[in-house]
Chain A
């Protein structure tokens, strides 16, 4: 983390050396000011306006907007979808990281590329593929409707689209971390007579828990906040298949700005909590996380 040697202008450094390997004071302050201005304009102000707009007409209107039954339905659906999608991708992420990080096999690089695939697909296309698969014009569509199974414009479709979009998060966080750690700890445990599951629970899991937590947090933030893919498969049925981001869109398009920004504050708070926990983890376990970040 802290490369203190890189910090310019430490007291005892001679003027010659300092000017040779660091910028002039003017350039330094100029660059810092420029980045602060950029961060303020592009990151801080959008976040700040969410809260000011939501509270624009006082806290009373804010609570009123949140108490709306359709908003509550949206919150419940978002929590339900995340509660299904995140554990599924957690199990997958651990399995994928175990196979890729602990073993050498043919086609590993290709498999890693496939796992990253959802990152390079537009969210709208992620939703579209499920419409093509389960829609009334598809092969599966007529069979599903004759058996009374609703996938599209219902919860299963929303869950599928969310799983698709959040697929790589846990695996991507764990693979570099577990590769860095190697297999010697596991080999030691096995040679001392531990079973495979014991090795995983008592040796591997404690080693990766912080990286795992961070992966789950990112996965969850994306699962709760996904808009494009869910919007395509949900059908926007109010109080039924609207997740929180879709509710934000609907309220905004109805010019109910206080309502839209009130729901948005909840999502913004989720993002802030994610960032704070991430920073705390990085602060306490900088070495582990830094290893995970080197993709």
Chain B
């Protein structure tokens, strides 16, 4: 055992590949110019409000309700997406059936379809005289222009996040694990629910977090179907737009800052749960 020489701190490991300075320079300047300066402007403007003003603006009843609706509907929609997303991923990975490839391609539709188009399409479907709405209205179920409509729009928007994070991990599951469970006398249902699904927990949580984060901030697909009734079905991003149209910049800034802080905290919590469950169950990584 020879004591290694004290290593000089170095920013990057030596490499023969050229262009590091240029590539990193372009990356950093673009990042600072387009992302960091504008975002720090928001931080600066909200800190310039002063703590008491900020608190008054952030705890305004209409703001609180809008935040509750945004985070609440996004949470419910992300839960629904976990159920349907895992189901879809399972069916796409495990079964071969006619039209599988088409379904697989369709899953990405919410990524590619502009949110405003999704918004007017869903509203037309679920409006009381729409294809689906006209079937639900006699049953007393109202979807469009209620918080339920917001959840439906967010399910549409968030679905691919769960499917596309779970699917590749599911493809990697080692068949031997299932065979072992079967030889030990587990029924198929037990094998799936107690052996396979717990291992997917980190991927499912990631998908949940992505769908949730997207849902909290979603605007285009929601505003058409929501009805936008203050205190009832008004989402936080819409309230920001309303405050901006009133030239009430402090209020808009405060709501935006609260949204960013809350999303950041939630992602942090989910990240640590994910790290824990990856140690506990995780496949591969």
Contacts and interface: CB of A to CB of B under 8 A. Distances in A.
A21 B20 contact: no
Nearest to B224: A252
Interface in B12-31: 12-13, 15-20, 22-24, 26-27, 30-31
A73 interface: no
A268 B113 contact: yes
Interface stretch (B51-59, B253-261, B275-283): B253-261
Most chain A CB inside 10 Å of its own CB: which residue of B121, B241, B259: B121
Given A42-B159, A132-B253, A24 B188 contact: yes
Contact of A104 (B13, B16, B236, B241): B13
Nearest to A91: B26
A92 B30 contact: yes
A38 B214 CA distance: 20
Contact of B37 (A104, A124, A133, A268): A133
Contact of B105 (A119, A268, A279, A293): A279
A45 B219 contact: no
A264 B37 contact: no
Interface string B74-113: 0000000000100110111111110101011111111111
A283 B165 CA distance: 19
Nearest to A246: B116
Contacts of B208: none
B124 A225 contact: no
A144 interface: no
B124 A53 contact: yes
Contact of B101 (A221, A244, A279): A279
A98 interface: yes
B220 A19 contact: no
Interface in A1-38: 3, 5-8, 19-24, 27-28, 31-32, 34-36, 38
A102 B168 contact: no
A104 B20 CA distance: 10
Given A227-B115, A275-B108, A279-B105, A128 B17 contact: no
Contacts of B95: 7-8, 28, 31-32
Chain B interface secondary structure, helix, strand, loop or mixed? helix
B20 A228 contact: no
A49 B125 contact: yes
Chain A interface secondary structure, helix, strand, loop or mixed? helix
B8 interface: no
B197 interface: no
Given A39-B103, A43-B106, A252-B120, A111 B27 contact: yes
Contacts of B91: 31-32, 35
A22 B188 contact: yes
B234 interface: no
Given A115-B31, A271-B109, A293 B241 contact: no
B5 interface: no
A109 interface: no
Interface of B: 11-13, 15-20, 22-24, 26-27, 30-31, 34-39, 41-42, 45, 84, 87-88, 90-97, 99, 101, 103-118, 120-122, 124-125, 130-132, 152, 155-156, 159, 164-165, 168, 171, 175, 178-179, 182-183, 188, 191-192, 213-214, 216-220, 224, 236-238, 240-241, 244, 249, 252-253, 256, 259-260, 263-264, 267
Given A27-B188, A104-B15, A128-B42, 18 more contacts: A20-B178, A21-B188, A35-B88, A35-B92, A43-B106, A95-B30, A100-B27, A104-B13, A119-B214, A121-B260, A129-B38, A132-B249, A135-B249, A164-B38, A191-B16, A221-B111, A264-B121, A271-B117
11 contacts: A20-B182, A35-B88, A35-B91, A43-B110, A95-B26, A104-B13, A122-B256, A124-B240, A128-B256, A132-B38, A271-B112
